[in-house]
Amino acid sequence: MKGHYARQNEPGFASGQPGLEESVKFGIVAATQHPQLNYTKVNYSKAPWATSPSQAINYVACHDDRVLWDKLTVANPGASEADLIKMDLLSNTIVFTSQGVPFLPVGDEFLRTKGGSHNSYNQPDSVNQARLGPQG
């Protein structure tokens, strides 16, 4: 959705990166068997692995690495704030409308930022606290 976690400058589906549609659909159906999905085009699994949607956790960000807002900002340096907000909204909308169990880290609902930090375990509270993103 947001781009590869390790290749921070790489945009994802929410940023308009082509070729990720089947991978997103795989997440939408919670890694289950679905007749409208071409598993050969999924970039991280070539077959369904869940027998029930409740076996899959859907998320676009967690406490590790960059939070969603920061990742979108790094991967889309020329994007306007309005476009970044749309990307964030699309990402989380897909998580919450997909099959499976949605997971949302604290603060993502209000564009949380960690000031771009991707490894904040030893950073002060000013970085790790849930603080508002650009409009806050």
Q: Is residue 7 part of a domain?
A: no
3-class SS of residue 96: helix
Q: What is the DSSP letter of 93?
A: H
Q: Is residue 4 part of a domain?
A: no
One DSSP character per residue, 30-88 reads: TT---TT--GGG-SS-SS---SSGGG-EE-S--SSS--HHHHHHHH-TT--HHHHHHHH
Beta carbons within 8 Å of 91's beta carbon, 6+ residues apart? 1, 2, 14, 60, 68, 72
Q: Is residue 135 part of a domain?
A: no
Q: In which domain, by residue range, is 85 found?
A: 13-128
Q: What is the pLDDT of residue 62?
A: 82
Q: Is residue 3 part of a domain?
A: no
What is the model's pTM? Answer: 0.87
Q: Please count the structural domains in the chain.
A: 1
pLDDT by residue for the chain (136 residues), tens digit each? 888 888 889 999 999 999 999 999 999 999 999 999 999 999 989 999 999 999 999 999 887 788 899 999 999 999 999 999 999 999 999 999 999 999 998 888 888 888 777 777 777 777 777 666 565 5
